[in-house]
């Protein structure tokens, strides 16, 4: 093919690609712009045309914290912040990844013809873990492939950028032929991603993060039963209410022992109660067993039982359009996470306190920390007409109180992980 013929094909391809993205009914203009930038960056970095896009959202949990590994219920939503993989096959036996935030550093190369191990850079272990999970199930891509990665999911903000990274890799493997030999469900991709976080990142997370990224739908919250792994979509269509996410910009590392210690304490509590599942435990039973527990185990147990109940009530409140009750449950959840589970921190408490102090002025119904804790983000339920003013004042007052500039934005429930073929 002549040079000019190749140019004509390339231009035709790019126009089709832009049309596919621009007409996608589930993606916001912000996400479409992110994808468009990534498509151009792929060509600049790999000197060839991309073949597909895989993307996965971060998530925010509205209520149900630290109970996904306790057979509880959680109520997250996928947020309109995505990790985007642009990909095309290569002639090598490696998955070659370039991250937009690390331009100038060597590409990460993951071989597809040998066993994988934990390695450096650390962030790439999330990718290695997913690839390894596919390999162990006999699913290998048709060839190596190149990936350009970009993201607008805040890192370290408790919004599950790691789960989004894992789910995007799962779909990148899918579009490069790894799933051609067998049918893989949304749940299976999420479970492979969860296992990757356990084995390659050393974080014993529950199923919430990956399930929220995988099952998210526009204008729907995702009620997840972490015992049965059933998913129920709960409509969030009230235009008068908005979800405001405030990243404290205090970073945290969940694999530094704090997350693991909380999980161990919940297991200790359940063992003392001699019950097969936290779903079989009442608050009265926890109180009756107080003398058999040390103080920390008792407090953790009180949180787990209370948070399971709060989450069920919250889902029912939304179904009944009782947003006031939902907001009160958010407040109670934060108090329990702060005092009983002890995973909050001064910056999170400050952000929540300021939000609630602005309740009458801006119609704030509830606010709480979200995510693993020890930093990260808060989530607030706010009257839509006041969102911009609320964000401005919350940001200003938080910065005055802490000296830290936060990242605050509103989001509607967004669509989950997917691939877009070209």
- Summarised one tens digit per residue, pLDDT across range 281-306 is 999 999 999 999 999 999 999 999 99
| 84, β-bridge pairs | 55, 150
Give the integer Cα–Cα distance in Å for 411 and 256. 30
Peptide bond into 121 cis (omega under 30): yes
Mean pLDDT of 130-141: 97
What would the two tokens of residue 25 be?
Answer: 């009914």
Domain(s) labelled CATH 3.30.70.890 in the chain stretch across 236-411
pLDDT for residue 206: 84
* pLDDT band with cut points at 50, 70 and 90 for residue 256: low
Among 22-31, 293-302, 353-362, 403-412, which stretch is predicted with the lowest mean pLDDT?
22-31
The pLDDT of 367-379, averaged and rounded, is 93
Q: How confident is the model at residue 82 (pLDDT cuts 50, 70, 90)?
A: very high
Q: How far is CA 199 from CA 63, 193, 283, 296, 326, in A?
A: 27, 10, 34, 28, 36
What pLDDT band is residue 5 in, cutting at 50, 70 and 90?
very low
Strand boundaries in 187-230, DSSP class E: 220-225
User: What pTM did the predictor assign?
Assistant: 0.90
Q: Is 299 helix (H, G, I), strand (E, B) or coil?
A: helix
Write out the two tokens for 128. Answer: 């290695």
Q: What is the pLDDT of residue 190?
A: 98
Q: Per residue in 217-245, pLDDT tens?
A: 999 999 999 999 999 999 999 999 999 99
Residue 209 annotated as catalytic: yes
Q: Are the CB atoms for 416 and 79 separated by under 8 Å?
A: no
Q: Where in the chain is the domain with CATH 3.30.230.10?
A: 3-229+417-421
**73 has pLDDT over 70:** yes
What CA–CA distance (Å, rounded) separates 315 from 237?
14
**Residue 4 pLDDT > 50:** no
pLDDT of residue 44: 96
| 31-45: average pLDDT | 96
Q: Over pLDDT 90: what percentage of the chain?
A: 86
91, 209, 225, 353: which is the annotated catalytic residue?
209
- The class (CATH top level) of 3-229+417-421 is alpha beta
Q: Of 258-272, 353-367, 382-396, which gets the smallest average pLDDT?
A: 258-272
CA distances from 315 to 34, 121, 159 (A): 32, 40, 20
- For domain 236-411, the question of CATH label 3.30.70.890 is answered with yes
Q: DSSP string of 27-78?
A: S-HHHHHHHHHHHHHHHHHHSS---EEEEEEEEEESS-TT-GGGT-EE-EEE
Average pLDDT over residues 122-143: 97
Residue 23 — very low, low, confident or very high, per pLDDT cuts 50/70/90? confident
- The pLDDT, as a whole number, for residue 18 is 61
SS3 of residue 269 by DSSP: helix
């Amino acid at each position: 093919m002549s040079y000019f013929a190749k140019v004509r094909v390339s231009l035709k391809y790019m126009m089709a690609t832009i049309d596919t993205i621009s007409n996608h009914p589930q993606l916001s203009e912000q996400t479409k712009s992110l994808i468009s930038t990534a498509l151009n960056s792929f060509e600049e970095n790999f000197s060839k045309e991309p073949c597909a896009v895989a993307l996965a959202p971060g998530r925010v949990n509205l209520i149900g914290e630290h109970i996904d590994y306790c057979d509880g219920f959680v109520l997250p939503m996928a947020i309109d912040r995505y990790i985007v993989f642009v990909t095309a096959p290569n002639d090598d036996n490696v998955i070659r990844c370039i991250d937009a935030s690390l331009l100038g550093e060597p590409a990460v190369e993951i071989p597809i013809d040998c066993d994988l191990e934990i390695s450096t850079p650390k962030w790439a272990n999330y990718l290695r873990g997913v690839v390894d999970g596919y390999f162990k199930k006999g699913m290998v891509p048709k060839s190596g492939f190149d990936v350009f990665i970009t993201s607008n999911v805040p890192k370290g903000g408790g919004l599950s950028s790691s789960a989004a990274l894992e789910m995007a890799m799962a779909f990148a493997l899918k579009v490069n032929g790894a799933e051609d030999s067998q049918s893989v469900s949304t749940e299976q991709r999420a479970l492979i991603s969860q296992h990757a976080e356990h084995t390659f990142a050393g974080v014993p997370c529950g199923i919430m993060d990956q399930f929220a990224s995988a099952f998210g739908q526009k204008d729907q919250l995702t009620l997840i039963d972490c015992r049965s792994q059933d998913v129920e979509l709960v409509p969030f269509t009230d235009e008068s209410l908005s979800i405001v996410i405030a990243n404290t910009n205090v970073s945290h590392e969940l694999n530094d022992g704090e997350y693991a210690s909380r999980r161990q304490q919940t297991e200790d509590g359940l063992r003392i109660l001699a019950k097969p599942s936290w779903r079989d435990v009442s608050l009265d039973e926890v109180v009756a067993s107080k003398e058999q527990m040390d103080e920390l185990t008792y407090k953790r147990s009180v949180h787990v039982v209370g948070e399971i109940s709060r989450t069920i009530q919250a889902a029912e409140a939304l179904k009944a359009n009782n947003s006031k009750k939902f907001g009160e449950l958010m407040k109670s959840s934060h108090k329990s996470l702060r005092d009983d589970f002890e995973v909050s921190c001064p910056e999170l408490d400050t952000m929540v306190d300021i939000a609630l102090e602005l309740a009458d002025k801006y119609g704030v119904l509830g606010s709480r920390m979200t995510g693993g804790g020890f930093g990260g983000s808060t989530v607030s339920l706010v009257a839509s007409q006041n969102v911009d003013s609320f964000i401005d004042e919350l940001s200003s007052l938080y910065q005055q109180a802490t000296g830290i500039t936060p990242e605050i934005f509103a989001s509607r429930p967004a669509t989950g992980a997917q691939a877009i073929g070209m």
